[in-house]
């Protein structure tokens, strides 16, 4: 659930409220208890924080430096449980 920032026009205080995106905006100021003078502010939000190992810029690149599309990346599937000898040429 996101945290929303609000501003009360009656007491000029800023406060935050933690509620779901589908919930109605806050209308009552928790500081001065005035109803109808609260406005939700537009904020930048929180940034994404990557912790741990494995987040490198080279993880999702090909050797040429551009990502491969799924239509151009064709992989050859080999049958599993193949029982031919080494001389058949299919392995």
Give the C-alpha separation, 8 to 38, whole Å.
4
Give the C-alpha separation, 44 to 11, whole Å.
24
Give the C-alpha separation, 3 to 20, whole Å.
8
Q: Could you read off the pLDDT tens digit of each residue along the chain, which spans 91 residues?
A: 788 999 999 999 999 999 898 999 999 999 998 888 999 998 776 677 777 666 666 666 666 655 555 554 455 555 556 566 666 666 5
Element spanning 35, H or E: none
What pTM does this model have?
A: 0.47
pLDDT score for 63: 62
pLDDT score for 38: 93
Give the C-alpha separation, 33 to 38, whole Å.
10
* Extents of the domains making up the chain: 3-40
CB 53 within 8 A of CB 59: no
């Amino acid at each position: 659930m996101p945290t929303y920032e609000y501003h009360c026009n009656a007491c000029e205080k800023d406060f935050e409220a933690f509620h779901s995106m589908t919930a109605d905006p806050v209308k009552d100021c928790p500081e001065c208890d005035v109803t109808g003078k609260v406005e939700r502010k537009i904020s930048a939000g929180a940034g994404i924080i990557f912790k741990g190992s494995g987040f490198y810029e080279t993880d999702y690149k090909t050797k040429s430096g551009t990502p491969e599309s799924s239509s151009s990346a064709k992989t050859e599937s080999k049958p599993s449980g193949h029982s031919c000898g080494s001389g058949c040429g299919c392995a």
